[in-house]
Chains A and B, each alone.
Chain A
Amino acid sequence: DTEVTQTPKHLVMGMTNKKSLKCEQHMGHRAMYWYKQKAKKPPELMFVYSYEKLSINESVPSRFSPECPNSSLLNLHLHALQPEDSALYLCASSQDLSGRSRYEQYFGPGTRLTVT
C-alpha cells in the first residue's frame, strides 16, 4: 500500500483564521514533506521531517507552522495567511526502515487552499 491521505480536500479561510492541514501515512516511512504547488507549476518544497524532527525549512514564512506528532502524522498549522498563499498543498513521504523507498516520494492528493 503506497497511500498518503490528506484532509481536508478543500479549505477556504479568511486572512484572520487559524486552520490546520493533516497528512497521514501507514507505510512505515520515516521522512515526511510539505510542498506548495501553484497552478501549472511544479511543487515547491516547504518542510521536511526526518524521524519526527524538523530537518529542512526552506525559509517558509512563520504563518506556516509544521508539526509531526508521530511518525505517521504530519500537520501544517496556518495562521494569518495572505491571498497569495492560495495553492494546492501536498504532503509526501519516503524512506522506510528497511531501506526501500529511499529515494522516491509518495504524494497525497493534496488540500486545495483558498485564502479570501
Chain B
Amino acid sequence: GNSVTQMEGPVTLSEEAFLTINCTYTATGYPSLFWYVQYPGEGLQLLLKATKADDKGSNKGFEATYRKETTSFHLEKGSVQVSDSAVYFCALSLWIGANSKLTFGKGITLSVRP
C-alpha cells in the first residue's frame, strides 16, 4: 500500500536556525509529493509540491526535492522564524480510479523560540 513516514517530533529550534524535517514514502505508483502546514486553529495550507523526480518545490524560504532513488522529500529552511511554528504534514497523491487521493504522514510540530 501507500504510506508516508515522517521523523518523530516535536522539534524545537531557536530563531534563525536551520530546519530539516525528514519524509520518506512508499507508493505503488508514481506519486506527486506535498508539504502542508497547519497553523494553530487553522486548516491545512499547501506549502510546496513536486510532481516528478528531481523536481524542487519551494515557497516562503522552504524547499524540498523529490528524490526517487531514496523515496524521500525532506523539507528544509535555512533560517526559521517564530512565525514558522506550526504542524507540518508530508503527503503523497496518487490517482485511485477517477480521483486523486492524499496519503498523509503523522505530522510534526515545530516550535521556534525567539
Residues of A within 8 A of B (CB): 2, 4, 6, 31, 40-43, 45, 48, 50, 55-56, 88, 90, 92, 94-95, 102-110
Contact = CB atoms under 8 A, between A and B. Distances in A.
A71 B32 CA distance: 25
Size class of the contact patch on chain B: 20 to 34
B61 interface: no
Contacts of A107: 36, 43-46
B42 A104 contact: no
A104 B49 contact: yes
Contact of B32 (A41, A90, A95, A104): A104
Interface of B: 32, 34, 36, 42-46, 49, 51, 87, 89, 93, 96-102, 104-107, 109
Contacts of A88: 43
B50 to A, nearest CB: 10
Is chain B's interface secondary structure helix, strand, loop, or mixed overall? strand
Contacts of A41: 106-107
Given A104-B34, A104-B46, A108-B43, A31 B107 contact: no
B102 A105 contact: yes
A74 to B, nearest CB: 14
A55 B99 contact: yes
Nearest to B6: A42
A103 B99 contact: no
Given A90-B44, A107-B43, A40 B107 contact: yes
Instruction: List the 7 closest pairs (A to B, CB-CB), nearest first.
Output: A42-B104, A103-B32, A107-B44, A103-B93, A109-B43, A107-B43, A110-B43
B99 A42 contact: no
Contacts of B93: 103-105
A95 B106 contact: no
28 contacts: A6-B43, A31-B99, A40-B87, A40-B107, A41-B106, A42-B89, A42-B104, A42-B107, A43-B102, A50-B98, A50-B99, A55-B97, A55-B98, A88-B43, A94-B100, A102-B100, A103-B49, A103-B51, A103-B93, A104-B34, A104-B46, A104-B93, A105-B46, A105-B93, A105-B100, A107-B44, A107-B45, A109-B42
Contacts of B43: 4, 6, 88, 90, 107-110
